[in-house]
Every structure is written in C-alpha cells, then in structure tokens.
Amino acid sequence: MPKMKLNQIVEAMLFASKEPITTKVIAKIIRKVSKREVPDDKLCSVNAKEIEKVIDTLNRSYEKKNSPYLIEERSKGWSLFTRIEYGVYLRELFPDLKPTRLSAPALETLAIVAYRQPITKAAVEAVRGVNVDGVLQSLIERGLVGIGGRADLPGKPFLYQTSKNFLEHFGIKNVDDLPNASELRQVELPQPEAELVDGEQLSLTGVNSTDEGESDEDDNDSLEVSEENEGHNNPIEE
C-alpha cells in the first residue's frame, strides 16, 4: 500500500462519508487502520486536535485555489460541502429533489420554538395568538422539532425543542448561532396565564402574530427554507 498523507486521508474520508463525522471518529479510524495496514508512528498516534488543524489547512487551501469545496462543522460533525454559488448547476443533477418549503405559520412557530426552547404549546400560542396543534405536529413529522420533556406546571405539558435535523438543515452548529440569539431571548412577549409566575420569559421579537381567530390551516402562503450549502443537505418534502 502506498504511503498516504494525513490531509489526503482526512479529505477522502470527508468526501466518502454520507453523514457528518467528528474529528474524534476520524482520528480513531485512522489510528485503527494505520496500525493494521500501514504502520506509521504519526498516523498511529493522531488525535482529534491534529485532525482539526488538518481541516483548517484544507479549507485554507480550498480558499486559496478558489475551490468549489469547503469543510464545515455542523451539530453532528464535519462535512465536505460544495459552495452555495454552484447550487444552480448542481440542482440540475437532481431534478426530482424539491427544496424545503414551510408555510409562514410553520416558520413563525419554528422560530418561537428555536429561540425560546424548551417551550410549551400554550406559550407558543400566547405569542402567535392562534392554535398551533397542526403546525407543531407538522414540524415534528418533518423532524425539525421534538419533545424534550414535560414542564413543571399543572397538567405537566410537553416541552418542545428543535432537533439536530433542524441545525443541519439551517446550516448551524447550535442554537446559539441563530441570528441575534442572545438579544431575542431577552425580549418580552405574551405569556399564557398558567406560566406567568413560574414559567420562563416566552417571547421573540420579529415574530408577527396573526389576527385573533385566524387559523394556521387557512394560510396557504409558503416560504422556502434556505439551504446554505448544496453538498449534503437533503430537502424535506412538503
């Protein structure tokens, strides 16, 4: 077997992996294979920090060469992506794949959950002013929202939170990477009466409540969820 460089191995693994992969896992695989196939002191003792340095070097190399590739870290690990500007060409390779689309009410509800999680359904409804049963169920079915436990309130209502799939599809590592996250969490918005004393501040600036009595099901407007990179983002069908 020909001698291979660490950066080549890392790049090949990121290219071949269908799912994000952590630097710890990359290092573990390299150590295991190297000890078995290609005894090399450097490869046999590589660690996660060294892999991070390699990834940084690869990204700088891509940028210098104006390469269509970049390596980014998401919630589940690192992935090799194609830059967004090449998306117009790449989409022609997959004509049957449709971009993710969410209705305006779904996006509003998802934003409230994202910035105020964990949050009860009643708290979301207090902000939006309408029933959100159907919208929350849709977000759960899409894998963007999940149940994170129960609130210490009468009736023990469910607490809703975003999923790792949410982070992947919006191209962020964690919810702290959301735009203006710290500021928006401090803004006061309506709270359900049952949570006025013990509940957290449930609010979000920039989320427009629909008129009272309006139903989410009546709003047919839809908005496209942006996909930061074309590489590994699989669309959620409407």
CA-CA distance, 130 to 26, in Å (whole number)? 47
CATH of the domain at 122: 1.10.10.10
Of 63, 93, 123, the last residue of a domain is 93
Number of structural domains (the chain) is 2
Of 93, 112, 145, the last residue of a domain is 93
pLDDT recorded at residue 1: 64
Residue 236 falls within a domain, yes or no? Answer: no
The two structure tokens encoding residue 33:
């294979």
Residue with tokens 């009643």: 122
The two structure tokens encoding residue 72:
């980014």
Same domain, 73 and 120: no
Same domain, 110 and 60: no
pLDDT recorded at residue 15: 96
pLDDT recorded at residue 154: 86
Write down the pTM of the prediction.
Answer: 0.59
Spell out, as residue ranges, where the chain has pLDDT lower than 50.
198-238
Question: Is 163:143 a contact under the CB 8 Å cutoff?
Answer: yes
CA distances to 45, 78, 127, 175, 226 from 50, rounded to whole Å, are: 10, 14, 47, 27, 33
Same domain, 83 and 62: yes
Of 93, 126, 142, the last residue of a domain is 93
Question: Is 127:209 a contact under the CB 8 Å cutoff?
Answer: yes
Q: Which domain holds residue 12?
A: 6-93
Residue 1 falls within a domain, yes or no? Answer: no
Residues in the chain: 238
* Cis-peptide, bond into residue 68, ω within 30° of zero: no
The two structure tokens encoding residue 68:
């269509």
